[in-house]
C-alpha cells in the first residue's frame, strides 16, 4: 500500500522529519510519501496558519486520490482540514492529533498533551471535546518552543518537554503523554524510557491506524457528512472528485 503524509506547512525540515517517522514505523511493503501543502506557511502554529494552509492541503489530498494512494495522513497536531479531506477522499484520512488521542486512550486511563505554543491550546481542547476524549485528557500543557527547534533533538526544546512531563506526572497524575507536534518518534521513545510511561507521537500512530483500516478494507463513508461535494462547487482542478 501507499500512504500519503501531508505536511500542512511548507518547511522542508519538517516534511523530512515527518517522512522519516512515517517510514520508520510503516510495515514492510508500505510505501510512505511525504509532501508539503502547496503555497502554505512554513509551519502551523495557530489558527491563522491553519486557515492559510487549507487550500494547499486539500489540493494535495486531491492529487493523492488521483494517484491512487491507499490512505492520507494530515501531519499537523490540530488536524486542520480533516473534514474537508474526508469529504474529498475515498481512501481513509487520519489526523495525527486524533490518532494520538485514540492510542493514548488504549494504554492509559488519563493522559496529558504537551504542545508547543499557547495559541494552539484552544484548538487542541476543542478537538478533544469533538473526538470524545476531553474526560480522558487531564490537561494540555505548553512547552513554549518553536517547531524548528525540534529539528535538533539535543536543543533546549527537549529539556522543556521533559520538564513538562515531570510536572504532568506529579501534578496531573497522568499515565501517558501525547506529544502535540509531528514526527518526533525518536524523541517519544527516549522520553518514554526516561520517564517510565507511554509517550505517543502522532505520525507513527496515524501510519499504523491507516494500515489497519486499509488492511480491513475500510474506506471513508460517503453517506452523510463526508459525502463528496457537488462537482459544480469545485474549481476545475478538483472537479473530478465531486458528485
Nearest Cα to Cα of residue 68 among 91, 86, 87, 44: 91
Instruction: Give the tens place of pLDDT for each residue, 141-181.
Output: 998 876 666 666 566 888 899 999 999 999 999 999 999 98
Strand stretches in the chain, DSSP E: 2-7, 31-36, 71-74, 93-95, 111-115, 137-142, 176-180, 199-201
pLDDT higher than threshold 70 for residue 198? yes
* Contact residues for 48 (Cβ-Cβ < 8 A; gap 6+): none
**Residue scoring higher pLDDT (5 or 117):** 5
Please identify, in words, the CATH class of the domain defined by 97-203. alpha beta
- CATH class assigned to 2-95+204-241: alpha beta
pTM: 0.91
- Domain ranges for the chain: 2-95+204-241, 97-203
Angle at which helices 96-107 and 202-215 cross, to 10°? 90
Q: Output the pLDDT for position 117.
A: 85
Higher model confidence: residue 105 or residue 184?
105
SS3 145: coil
Do residues 110 and 174 touch, judged by C-beta distance below 8 A?
yes
Q: Read off the pLDDT of residues 77-122 as tens digits, 9 standing for 90 and up.
A: 999 999 999 999 999 999 999 999 999 999 999 999 999 888 889 9
Amino acid at each position: 500500500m501507499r500512504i500519503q503524509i501531508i505536511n500542512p506547512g511548507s518547511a522542508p525540515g519538517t516534511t523530512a522529519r515527518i517522512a522519516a517517522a512515517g517510514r520508520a514505523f510503516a510495515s514492510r511493503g508500505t510505501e510512505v510519501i511525504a509532501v508539503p501543502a502547496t503555497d502554505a506557511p512554513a509551519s502551523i502554529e495557530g489558527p491563522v496558519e491553519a486557515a492559510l494552509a487549507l487550500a494547499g492541503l486539500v489540493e494535495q489530498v486531491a492529487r493523492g486520490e488521483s494517484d491512487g494512494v491507499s490512505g492520507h495522513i494530515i501531519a499537523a497536531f490540530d488536524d486542520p482540514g480533516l473534514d474537508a479531506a474526508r469529504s474529498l477522499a475515498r481512501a481513509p484520512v487520519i489526523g495525527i492529533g486524533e490518532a494520538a488521542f485514540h492510542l493514548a486512550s488504549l494504554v492509559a486511563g488519563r493522559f496529558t498533551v504537551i504542545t508547543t505554543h499557547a495559541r494552539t491550546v484552544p484548538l487542541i481542547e476543542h478537538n478533544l471535546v469533538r473526538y470524545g476524549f476531553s474526560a480522558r485528557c487531564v490537561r494540555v500543557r505548553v512547552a513554549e518552543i518553536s517547531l524548528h527547534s525540534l529539528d535538533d533533538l539535543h536543543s533546549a526544546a527537549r529539556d522543556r518537554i521533559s520538564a513538562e512531563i515531570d510536572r504532568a506526572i506529579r501534578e496531573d497524575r497522568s499515565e501517558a503523554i501525547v506529544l502535540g507536534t509531528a514526527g518526533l518518534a525518536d524523541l517519544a521513545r527516549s522520553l518514554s524510557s526516561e520517564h517510565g510511561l507511554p509517550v505517543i507521537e502522532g505520525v507513527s500512530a496515524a501510519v499504523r491506524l491507516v494500515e489497519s483500516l486499509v488492511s480491513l478494507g475500510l474506506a471513508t463513508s460517503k453517506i452523510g457528512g463526508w459525502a463528496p461535494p457537488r462537482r459544480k462547487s469545485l474549481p476545475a482542478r478538483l472537479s473530478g472528485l465531486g458528485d
